[in-house]
Amino acid sequence: MSRQFSLTRRRQNVVDLLIDIDPLKNPPIAFWQYEVATNFNGPFSTLATMSAGGTRSKTVKDFSFNDSFRGKVRFVWNPDDYPGSGIKDTKPIYLRVRTKDLGSGTFSTPGPVHIILPYSSSGHPPVHLAGDAPAGASMDQSLEIQLPKNCHQFIFENLGGVNMFLAISESGPEYKLKPSTILELFDTTSSVVYIRGEGSSTEFRAVCTIQNATDIS
């Protein structure tokens, strides 16, 4: 699926996020809830819940709305304002979003996992992933991970005992990795990864090089 939010600014102790409001949705969304974790596998906890007016965390001073943000939900926050979540401003942060429609008593199933990298003044380092691909019988049961930016080099290693399937496009194709094997994809561009284990979860690791950044290291 498409990204649920966009990162408009990343500075030291500042993460500035925008969600587009669909004016045609009926019933409309009444609340947006961000969930956060220190890895894509979780566990996830509630970071903040907000209405269309958006919100900011307590130490963020720069929070001025203008016409350019109409029709969007803005969340400006400092990761260090949430010590109970386990996240740190200097480490990658994993976010996902749930929504609640007007008149509904429950939030939706969480969307895909999005990665927020730490601020760096010297370019974008490779994205490292390490964890478990969940069990799934087909691609629509894969875990979707939205990468920070377009990546053009990928290395995946299946560390588990079952086959792992991965894709870097919503339309596929899926690549099959047998246990203890490595797949390298070069000269291709994507900002999303879909992963699943065949029959059970499987441990894996990956390195994704951001386009126009340093080569894999």
pLDDT band at 213 (very low <50, low <70, confident <90, very high): low
Domain boundary among 88, 116, 144: 116
48 and 110 assigned to the same domain: yes
Q: What is the mean pLDDT of residues 167-172?
A: 92
Q: Each residue of 149-160: pLDDT tens digit?
A: 999 999 999 999
Q: Are residues 22 and 104 in the same domain?
A: yes
**CATH classification at residue 155:** 2.60.120.10
Let me know whether 72 and 136 are in one domain: no
Residue range 105-109: mean pLDDT, rounded = 95
| Exposure b/e, 100-110, CB count within 10 A at least 16 = b | bbeeeeebeeb
Q: How many structural domains compose the chain?
A: 2
Q: What is the mean pLDDT of residues 143-166?
A: 96
Q: Which residue has the tokens 């899926």?
A: 174
Write out the residue range of the structural domain in which residue 146 sits: 127-210
Kindly state whether residues 104 and 158 are assigned to the same domain. Answer: no
Are 110 and 154 in a shared domain?
A: no
pLDDT score for 214: 45
8 A C-beta contact, residue 167 and residue 214: no
pLDDT at residue 189 greater than cutoff 90: yes
For the segment 79-97, the average pLDDT, to the nearest whole number, is 96
Nearest by Cα to 211 from 148, 152, 129, 124: 152
Whether 161 maps to a domain, the answer reads yes
Quick check: is 1 in a domain?
no
Q: Are residues 177 and 103 in the same domain?
A: no
Q: Are 88 and 167 in a shared domain?
A: no
Given 85, 116, 147, which residue is the final one in a domain? Answer: 116
Q: Say yes or no to pLDDT of 124 above 90.
A: no
* Candidate from 63-67, 73-77, 99-103, 172-176 with smallest mean pLDDT: 63-67
CA distance 206 to 147: 12
> Does residue 63 lie in a domain region?
yes
Say if 200 falls within a structural domain.
yes
CA distance 179 to 196: 13
Q: What is the band of 215 on the pLDDT scale with cuts at 50, 70, 90?
A: very low
